[in-house]
Amino acid sequence: MKQVNLSNQVLYLLSISAGLVVANLYYNQPLLHQIAVSFKVSEAEVSNVALFTQLGYALGLLFIIPLGDKVSNKKILRLDFLVMVISLIAAAMSSSLFILIISSFFVGFTSAIPQLFVPMAAQLSDDKNRGRAIGIVMSGLLIGILGSRVISGFVGEQFGWRVMFYAAAVMMVLLYILLKYKLPTIAPVFKGSYTSLMKSLYHYFKTDGSLRLATLRGGLAFAGLSAFWTTLVFLMQDSFGYGSAITGAFGILGIVGALGATFVGKISSTISNHSIILFGTLLLILSWVILYFSGTSLIGLMAGVLLVDLGLQSLHITNQKIIFSKNPEARNRVNTIYMVGFFIGGAFGTVAGAMAWGHYKWIGVSTLGIVLSTLILIVHLSFRKE
């Protein structure tokens, strides 16, 4: 196969695309209170919008991302963007919570494709620039995750929650046109059947203990973060009387934390993976302790969200460094296993966070975060040598 060089133009297009597409997953979180009022449903019921978006994303990772080793990237993008745009429009036009939940599932399912861009950047780069390329694409993805809440909070408060989904659909149409003409075509490297491709996922999961442990660490960490973002909008309304714009603005603080974690990624070559994982996990525990005492303190919440995002991204970057160091012929499939576990954890955190809020309010949510973070420390110390 002819090697295609990764130009800076294509690299930054991948980074921006990753951020814009993954943002579709998180637009709904600052809007949950508005949606609940719109459909006259409870906070627990409306949390299913975020839950099914994340479940859809997890299944998209499982069934779409492995195809990156078998099917041309342009073919995957063409069908995926078509379904994505239709799903976003359906979400905007939803006449009931049920229709919005189903639409959100398909928004999540089709928004898995940023996880094709990270291995794509790795494949198109030479050995010397591979780390830099992955870091830039990951930065775009992280900023998209966190910045999406800022945008949707503002748009929702100014124009209503439906406008956000219409705007997202328009952005996806424009982005697909750009990708169609600017992104190089990558020929597949896996020649077997789709069945054998999917079976190989189990092989890698079964034989690679470091992959299993990284997946568990990532899933537990993201469960805590999802519980935080799902319930923050309710805390803002109950404790401070603030709407979706202020809730979304907390995403700016998360961006600072995420960018701090990219620095951790740059220095990871001089520090052991074990040390960075311990640092990230202890930071998560500290952040949740701060959040526990910050149910009525904006300063405490701001400090907590900075630390929780920094801790999570330190773990996440190190986890991906570990799993990408093995099996270079199957980067899409290994990434699939890790990210499926990551977002299953997110879906669990959404449900558990909503339940904790329903029974014990913010004390319950922050206690859940402390427990999940402590579990990361326990499983890491218990199984890392295996």
Q: Is the pLDDT of residue 2 over 60?
A: no
Domains recognised in the chain with CATH numbers:
8-383 (1.20.1250.20)
Give the Å distances, CA to CA, from 329 to 4, 223, 325, 334.
17, 30, 11, 10
More confident: 254 or 146 = 146
What does the buried/exposed string (b/e) look like for 65-84 if buried means 16 or more CB atoms within 10 Å of the residue's CB?
bbbbbbbebeebbeebbeeb
CA–CA gap between residue 237 and residue 234 (Å, rounded): 5
Predicted structure pTM score: 0.77
Sequence-separated (6 or more) residues with CB below 8 Å from residue 128 = none
Tell me how far apart the terminal alpha carbons of the chain are, to the nearest angstrom: 37
Q: What is the pLDDT of residues 281-301, one digit of tens each?
A: 999 999 999 999 998 899 999
% residues pLDDT > 70 (the chain): 92
**In angstroms, what is the C-alpha Rg of the chain?**
20
pLDDT of residue 72: 80
Q: State whether residue 338 is helix, strand or coil.
A: helix
CA–CA gap between residue 337 and residue 343 (Å, rounded): 10
The residue type at 56: G
CA neighbor of 164 nearest in space, from 23, 33, 27: 27
Please, what sign has the CA dihedral across residues 269, 270, 275, 280? negative
CA–CA gap between residue 208 and residue 106 (Å, rounded): 31
pLDDT of residue 333: 87
- The stretch 51-70 carries a mean pLDDT of 87
CA–CA gap between residue 350 and residue 50 (Å, rounded): 7
CA–CA gap between residue 213 and residue 230 (Å, rounded): 26
Q: Which two tokens stand for residue 209?
A: 């203990």
The residue type at 27: Y
Give the Å distances, CA to CA, from 2 to 7, 72, 124.
15, 14, 11
71 Cα distance to chain centroid = 24
98 Cα distance to chain centroid = 23
Query: In which band, very low, low, confident or very high, does the pLDDT at 1 lie, cut at 50, 70 and 90?
Result: very low
Q: Is the pLDDT of residue 321 over 90?
A: no
Q: Under a CB-based contact definition with an 8 Å cutoff, are residues 108 and 53 in contact?
A: yes
Query: In which band, very low, low, confident or very high, does the pLDDT at 154 lie, cut at 50, 70 and 90?
Result: confident
Which range of 73-77, 142-146, 217-221, 264-268 scores highest in mean pLDDT? It is: 217-221
Q: Which two tokens stand for residue 334?
A: 């290994």
Sequence-separated (6 or more) residues with CB below 8 Å from residue 88 = 24, 103, 107, 165, 166, 168, 169, 172
Q: Which two tokens stand for residue 164?
A: 């956000």
pLDDT of residue 371: 97
Q: Is the pLDDT of residue 5 over 60?
A: yes
Query: In which band, very low, low, confident or very high, does the pLDDT at 71 lie, cut at 50, 70 and 90?
Result: confident
More confident: 273 or 235 = 235
pLDDT of residue 266: 64
Q: What is the pLDDT of residues 239-258, one digit of tens each?
A: 888 876 777 777 777 677 66
